[in-house]
Structures are given as C-alpha cells and as structure tokens.
Structure 1
Amino acid sequence: MKSRKEYNYFEAFINLSKFSLNSAEILNKTLHEFDIRKINEKIREMHNIEHSADIAKHEMLECLMKEFLPPIEREDINVLSQKIDDVTDAIEDVLICIDIFNVKHIRPEILKFTELIVDCCKSMDSALVEFQNFKKSKKLHSEIVEINRLEEEGDALYVNGVRNLYKTSGEPVELMVWTEIFRRLEKCFDACEDVANTIESIVMKNS
C-alpha cells in the first residue's frame, strides 16, 4: 500500500474503473460466445475481478481515514469510490442472474446491451482520467455528456427489448426470466450515469 503522502485518489478512481471495464468486457465476450458449460468458470473470473475491486476500494478508504488533507472532500471520495464499485457489482449481477435462471440461449438483442455497456464503461474511464485535472480539463464535460447519451441509449434498448419480449412470448417463466435480465442490464447504465453525476457534482463544488 502506498503511504499517505504518495497516495493518489484520482489514480485510484481510474484503477477502480478498470475493474468495471474488465467486467464489462468479460460479460460481453461471455454472452457473444455463450457456452452454458463454461458459465461457472466465467462467474468465478468475474467474482475475482469484483473481489479485487473491493480490496482496492478498501485500500483507498483506509488511506482516507488517515489522510490529513485530501484533495477533495472525504465524503465525495467515499461516494465516488462506491459509485464506481456499484458499476462492477451491477455487471457481475447480470451474469449471476443468467446462471441462477439456468439460461441456455442468449437472445440476440442482449448482445447490443453488453456492447453498449462496454462503451459506457470506456466513457466512464475516460471521464475519470479527465477528472484528475478537472479544473483545467476541456474534455471532462463532453465525456460526462457521452455517458448520459449512452445511458439514454441503454434505456431505449431496455424499453424496446421488454416490449418485443412481451409481443413475442406468452410463456410466463420466459417472461419472468428475461424481464429480470433486461432490468439488470439496464441497471448497469444507471450505475455508470450515477458515476458521471457524482463527478459533475464534485466539480461544481470545487469550481
């Protein structure tokens, strides 16, 4: 662990976002190449990432407890680290849900979700890179706007996906399973937007 004097909270935020992006890429690849025989292996891989993210977050908060003068308010560091961690958790929840419901085939429209989640996590990572120099950055605002745009695109996928589901299936179990999976996918976009909104709030307070 870095010493208090050396600890860089902005780099730590970026590090947390890398876990989210890695999780998104694994989810996307797993569902594009879906093989039910490998689902447990992929869940373990995803859980290891989530566990590493938790360790990194706890390290940050441990440094924060001993920090005399953090670069931004303690509460903001705590909240932002949790919001980024929520993205990783939300992505993991999608794969867990697919396993719990014993899904054997992935609906084609689901792949549009996972590709967009990867894009959203990439934009979140870019926003956090710009956040390091938020007082001088000329790109941070556009990165936040892009995350908001992707979240709206994710909402549209959710609405269209659920509508199509109920138009094409009358089987109660299938409806229940895929409605929940759609909901968890949509939650990933909301989690990314929460990060963007938190960054924006911190910038406003420190401008």
Structure 2
Amino acid sequence: MPSRKENNYYNMFIENVTYACKAAALLQKCFDNFNPEHLPRQMEAMHQIEHTADLAKHTMMKHLHREFLPPIDREDIMELSETIDDVTDCIEDVMLRLYMFHITGLREDAASFADLICSCCEALLDMMEEFSVFHKSKVIGSKIIEINRLEENGDRLYMEAMHRLYVSPSSSTETFTWTSLYDCLEKCCDRCERVAAVVERVILKNS
C-alpha cells in the first residue's frame, strides 16, 4: 500500500482532474442553454475554476520541491500535473473563443462535443482514482483504453463537423470562427488522451 505521503500526491492528481470535470460541466451547461448574454458571467465562473486549479497545481509543486523521496519520479509528477492543467485550460479557451468571436448561436455539432468532453473528463477521474494502486489494479488498463476510445470518437466527430461546415453555404467569417472552435473542442479531447498516455507510461516505468 502507498504511504500516506504518497497518497497525498495521488489525491492531488484527483483534485486537479476534478477541476477539469467542473470546467467541462460548466461548458456543457453553457452549450445546452446557450445565450450569448450569459457568456460574461459564465466566463467569470470558468476563470474561477481555472484559477483554483492553478493554485492546486502550485501547491503540488511546493510539496514536490520539499519532497525527499516522491512516490514516482519528480519529472513524471510535474508532467502529469501540467497535462491535467492543460485540459482545464483548453476547456476555458473554448468559452473565451465563443466570446471573442461573438458567437450568437451554436452549430448542431457543438453540443455533442461538450457531452464528449464531459465523458472524457469523467473517464479521466475514474482512471485517476485507480492510479494510487496501479501496482495491483486490475481495471486501470481498461480505464486508459476507454479514454483512448473517447478521444477517437472526438476525432470522428471533428472530421464530420468540419466536413459539414465546409460543404454547407457559410460566410468566410463563420467558416473561420467555427474552424477555430472545432479545433479547440477537439483539442480538449486530445489533452485528456495525453493525460492517459502519461499515466500509462508511468505505470510501465514503475512496473
């Protein structure tokens, strides 16, 4: 069993993924009942989540700086912390682009992306809750595979959404803005897969 000190790091990873889940849930709520007039308030709520996640990451780095013997390599803790933080940052970036591009209505594919991002983040949380016992876990491998499967769904959704965008009559402005938004939405799924890839590498390295 990991020591209490080791468990602290794993618990901090879980905490950081929880912020990504909160950000994804807020984005999903925004998309389900989209109203551009609500965006400034929703952006502020999203920024508070992102800021709190940053503080949690900095707390982890302070612990790591003082740690004599961390449960896994320092470089792996730092990389995993950064990749988890990237997920939350990418989700916030979607909402910022909605505001910057003055989006007044969502395309049909957007809600599907928001749902998928929520699923990716929830799958990340499931995986991270097993991470502290990865030496004996019988399910963490399947949880990593599930994240990869969801990311592949994101790739397919992105391809079809982009195809529909470019075959339908659209203004050049709409084409540009939605290309950027779809890129950002797909990136959220990709960043979740990157977290899973780091976890998988750490497991192999320490097995």
Tell me the TM-score range normalised by the shorter chain.
over 0.9
C-alpha separation between the residues in 1 aligned to 2:192 and 2:148? 9
Q: Which amino acid aligns with 1:60?
A: M
Alignment of 1:153-172 (within 5 A): 153-172=153-172
The percentage of counterpart residues that share the same residue type is 44
Deviation at 1:171, TM superposition (A): 1.2
Deviations 1:123-150 (A, max 9, x none): 0000000111000111100000000000
TM-score using structure 1 length: 0.96
CA contact (8 A) 2:6 2:70 kept: no
| Structure 1 gaps, min length 5 | none
C-alpha separation between the residues in 2 aligned to 1:205 and 1:6? 17
C-alpha separation between the residues in 1 aligned to 2:73 and 2:34? 44
Residue of structure 1 equivalent to 2:143: 143
Moved over 4 A (4+): 4-7
Deviation at 1:204, TM superposition (A): 0.5
C-alpha separation between the residues in 1 aligned to 2:12 and 2:171? 46
Residue of structure 2 equivalent to 1:38: 38
Alignment of 1:187-202 (within 5 A): 187-202=187-202
Alignment of 1:88-103 (within 5 A): 88-103=88-103
Alignment of 1:12-31 (within 5 A): 12-31=12-31
TM-score using structure 2 length: 0.96
Structure 2 SS opposite 1:8? helix
C-alpha separation between the residues in 2 aligned to 1:6 and 1:169? 56
CA RMSD across the alignment: 1.2
CA contact (8 A) 2:6 2:71 kept: no
**Residue 175 of structure 2 corresponds to residue 175 of structure 1:** yes
Deviation at 1:6, TM superposition (A): 8.0
C-alpha separation between the residues in 2 aligned to 1:65 and 1:7? 17
Q: Which amino acid aligns with 2:141?
A: H
Deviation at 1:5, TM superposition (A): 4.9
Deviation at 1:178, TM superposition (A): 0.4
Q: Which amino acid aligns with 2:39?
A: I
Deviations 1:34-67 (A, max 9, x none): 1111100000000000000000000000010000
